[in-house]
Structure 1
Amino acid sequence: MKTSIGISPGNREVVAHELAKLLADEFVLYTKTLNAHWNLEGMDFHSVHLYFEDLYNQSAAIVDDVAERIRQLGHYAPATLKNFLQLTHLTEQDEDNNDSRSLIRKLLSDHESIIEFIRGNIDEFADAHNDAGTSDYITGLMEKHEKIAWMLRAHLK
């Protein structure tokens, strides 16, 4: 069925493609957060393990929301690991250092990377592609990542 929401097909396609990159980043971050939750070691295991559980639950909700936003624009969301790894700006974790500080630093870096990617698209979506709705949506998403990044930074003080 035709998507008729006041945004040209070309603009919806560009925005959906950028959101696909964001979805890939969010899914990779979700996976890395699960890794941190599952493989954490150290004296602060219990409290940080619970914190990481909260983070991966937040990430799962974000992944679903981004995919649904792509669908609202009339496009299909990428949904394979192969697609995610081709689209993501993030890198997979390859180190075995599983203390809380190391894991928090890695997660913080990824949240900050996503914040920068989102910030670079807010005005572009609204101004160049006539999609104020997605611009507003990613602004709210950026604020969520900023809050998480602040909390991760607080753990490193």
Structure 2
Amino acid sequence: MKTSIGIKEEARQRIAEFLSVILADEHILYTKTRNAHWNVEGSDFHAMHLFFEEQYGELEGVIDEIAERIRQIGHYAPGTLKSFLELTRLTEAKEGKNDSTSYIKELKADHESIIIHIRENIEWIEDANDNGTADFLIAIMQGHEKQAWMLRAHLK
């Protein structure tokens, strides 16, 4: 059935493609955060194990919301690991050791990359008359800003 929500099809297509990249980035970041949760070592193991668990739990909810937003605007969400790896702007490669500082630096950089990518694209999404997606993305960006802040606080 045709999606008729006041946004032109070509704009909805472009927005769905943008959201698909964000969805892929979120999946990669989620996986990297789970990896940190599983493999962190050091005297701060317990605290960091719990901290990373909290972070990946938040990302899990975001992933579902993004996929549903893609469906709300009339398109299908990518749903395979292969598609996520093809779409993501992030790397799944791990740099550094299994200590909390190495994981934190890497995860912080990924959160900040997503923040910047969203911020650079909000205007054209609003211009496409999709204030719903723009508002949705602003909330996603704010969540990443909070997680990046928490990661930065560990590096002081």
**Same fold flag (TM > 0.5):** yes
Distance apart, 1:124 and its partner CA = 1.1
Partner residue, 2:58: 58
- The whole-number CA distance in structure 1 between the counterparts of 2:94 and 2:116 is 23
Is the 2:34–2:52 contact (alpha carbons within 8 Å) kept by the matching residues of 1?
A: yes
Partner residue, 2:143: 144
Distance apart, 1:95 and its partner CA = 3.8
Which one-letter code corresponds to 2:153 in the other structure? A
Partner residue, 1:71: 71
Q: How many residues align?
A: 156
Partner residue, 1:35: 35
- The answer for unaligned runs of 5 or more in structure 1 is none
- The whole-number CA distance in structure 1 between the counterparts of 2:73 and 2:105 is 34
- The whole-number CA distance in structure 1 between the counterparts of 2:139 and 2:118 is 10
Is the 2:7–2:130 contact (alpha carbons within 8 Å) kept by the matching residues of 1?
A: yes
Distance apart, 1:17 and its partner CA = 0.3
Which one-letter code corresponds to 2:138 in the other structure? T
96-105 vs 36-45, which moves further? 96-105
Q: Work out the percentage of aligned pairs sharing the same amino acid.
A: 59
1:155 is aligned to 2:154? yes
Which one-letter code corresponds to 1:65 in the other structure? E
RMSD value, Cα: 0.9
- The whole-number CA distance in structure 1 between the counterparts of 2:154 and 2:96 is 20
Distance apart, 1:96 and its partner CA = 5.9
Deviations 1:108-131 (A, max 9, x none): 00000000110011111001x211
Moved over 4 A (4+): none
Which one-letter code corresponds to 1:123 in the other structure? E
Partner residue, 2:4: 4
Q: Give the TM-score normalised by structure 1.
A: 0.97
- The whole-number CA distance in structure 2 between the counterparts of 1:103 and 1:95 is 8
Question: Which residues in structure 2 correspond to 1:3-22 (within 5 Å)?
Answer: 3-22=3-22
Distance apart, 1:18 and its partner CA = 0.3
- The whole-number CA distance in structure 1 between the counterparts of 2:73 and 2:31 is 26
- The answer for unaligned runs of 5 or more in structure 2 is none
